[in-house]
Structure formats: structure tokens, C-alpha cells
Structure 1
Amino acid sequence: MDSTSASATTTTAGSSTTGTHRKLNLPAHELNKKRTGPNTRAKRWTDEDTNPCHLEAEASFQCLHDTNFNREKCYIEFETYKNCKKFWNGIMKDRQRQGIKPYLPLAEQRESIRNGIDYNNVK
């Protein structure tokens, strides 16, 4: 065995410097990478495909920003967002009971399902 291969396989405190992380099963060079992609929180809240109420969420955030984070002044936006979430959660539960996949309709299908519903009047 030459000195290069011996140094590459040496371990420090039971872990290899060139091996994989024992719990995550990731190569050592992958552990320090910043995680980005479709599973990040920002993507989940702002993506039209995963959040049917992204416009209502953006309106709530914009209201908070405009009113210096005075939640009392954004009551209408918050209620609109909550009603939107209730509506689409109900749609997802119904589709799940009926065995329709995906449970959340695609963005193209949502407009025909919504069909002009005003979220302020949803009970």
C-alpha cells in the first residue's frame, strides 16, 4: 500500500474523511452544501403548483409590510387566506376519499374547480 492510499483511508475518531456520513448516507463533500430545490420552505409557500393560495399569502405578507406589521389592519387578508386554505383542504380531502390523484389539482385545473368562488364568503 502506498502512502497516498493509506492517508485517504485513515479515520479520525471513528469516521472516515473520504467516506459517507453514517446517519445521512451522504458523501462527506455533500454534507456542507446548501440545500436548495423544491423542498425548501420558500419554494413551498411561493410556488403556484404546491400552494393554491399563494396569491392570498402574498397579499397577507404585503399587507403586513405596508402596515409595519400591524396584524389588526390585515384582518381581511388573513381571513381570505384562511378561507382559501379551508376550501382547498376540503377539495384535497374529497379527492383523497374518491381516490383521485394528485390530491391537490394541478394549477391548470384549479380555476375551473374554483369557478369564481369568493374566499371571503366561504363558510
Structure 2
Amino acid sequence: MQVFDAIFTDRGSKYAVSGGKVGSRDEAVEFVKTLCRTRKFARATHNSWGVLLPEGPLKNDDGESGAGMVILRMLEREGLEGEIVVVTRWFGGRKLGGDRFRRVQDAVRHYLDNRG
């Protein structure tokens, strides 16, 4: 599991991105549970994620409507299968509107550019 914490802020909202190898839906769900065992991530407003698996794409917006689809589209463009990406947001008090999708893209791009 790779975690890039506090990668940027926007109008008070703070972002992190995490990812790692998974081979099934159960492993994806367990990955997010493991991430959320850290109190900081458990208290986040959103832990949105996506993963491309042989049986099909999986996503979870976790209340950040549309975020999972943004993650999936970026993974599809990269052809990255079997690797979950989780974008975490701590709400800062001001709504971001459509900019929230740009921030999700920025977080996924950060992960893709810096993963080991």
C-alpha cells in the first residue's frame, strides 16, 4: 500500500491518494478497510476509489458523487488493471462545485506519476 498524504489543498479541503495491487472485489474492499484503520483516514469525509479487474470495473464514490467514475476513466486511459486507487478528501467547509472533479484527477495523476 502506498499512501501520499496531504498532497494538496483547495479552499480548505485536503486531499490524499493511496493505492496498491488487488485481485478481486473482496481484496479491494479489504484495502479500503485497511486504509481506514488509520484514524485519520477513517475520519475523512470521502474515500472514493476505483479499480479495473478482469471481471469488470469497480468503484465507490463514498458520497463524492461521480468521483469513482473519474478514477476509473483515468485508470482505463493508463491501462492499469489490478491496482486500486483511493482519493481521500477532508472537507474544508467550502463547496468546490465542478472543481472537485479536477482535484480527483489531480490526485489520481499524482498517484500514477509517483507510484513505485
TM range (shorter): under 0.3
Between Structure 1 and Structure 2, which shows a larger proportion of strand residues? Answer: 2
Structure having the higher Rg: 1
Q: TM-score, normalised by structure 1?
A: 0.25
Between Structure 1 and Structure 2, which shows a larger proportion of helix residues? Answer: 1
Q: TM-score, normalised by structure 2?
A: 0.26
Question: Which is bigger in relative contact order (C-alpha 8 A, separation at least 6)?
Answer: 2
